Each structure stands twice: as C-alpha cells, then as structure tokens.
Amino acid sequence: MTLIRKSVSILKACELTGVSRRTIYNWLSSGKLEYVRTAGGSVRIFMDTLWRTGNVIVQSTDTEEKEKEKEEP
C-alpha cells in the first residue's frame, strides 16, 4: 500500500499557520516539520506535520472575541 501525503510550499505553510518564513525555516532545521526537496530544489512541507502539537499558535479573531462576550451573561 502506498501512502500519499499532501505537501505545501513554505509560503503556503506560513499562511496556514500564521507564522513567519523564518519560523518555518527554524521548525525545518529543528526537525519539527517533515519535508521533501523536489528535483528543482524547492522545499515542500508535509501538511500533516504542520498540525502537530506545539507547531501552531492559534489566534482568535476580533469577531470571535465579540461573539464570546455576547454569550457570557
């Protein structure tokens, strides 16, 4: 059985996680993210490694905060 893993570019990984390119490069060098280098030399990051605990900082939006305030008595 062949396992197919979805991969994204460094720029897309930044957009998905909300962190800078430098942070992505730091995660790559520390081994927190798994990646593959293409024949052309580009880096592709496996998406399943982006969502491991400790890699992503969840930021709430202003809209979410306002909705929470409305729900509280």
pLDDT at 36 over 80: yes
Average pLDDT over residues 10-20: 93
Q: Which of 21, 49, 22 is nearest to 35 (CA)?
A: 49
Alpha helices of 1-73 — where are they, by DSSP H?
A: 10-17, 21-30, 47-50, 62-71
CATH of 7-67, picked from 3.40.630, 1.10.150, 1.10.10, 1.10.1660, is 1.10.1660
Q: pLDDT digits over 39-72, tens only? A: 999 999 999 998 875 665 544 444 455 555 555 5
Q: What is the pLDDT of residue 52?
A: 72
Task: Determine the pLDDT at residue 60.
Answer: 45
Q: What per-residue confidence (pLDDT) applies to 8? A: 95
Give domain limits for the chain.
Answer: 7-67
Q: What integer pLDDT is reported at residue 20 of this predicted model?
A: 94
Distance of alpha carbon 21 from alpha carbon 42, whole angstroms: 14
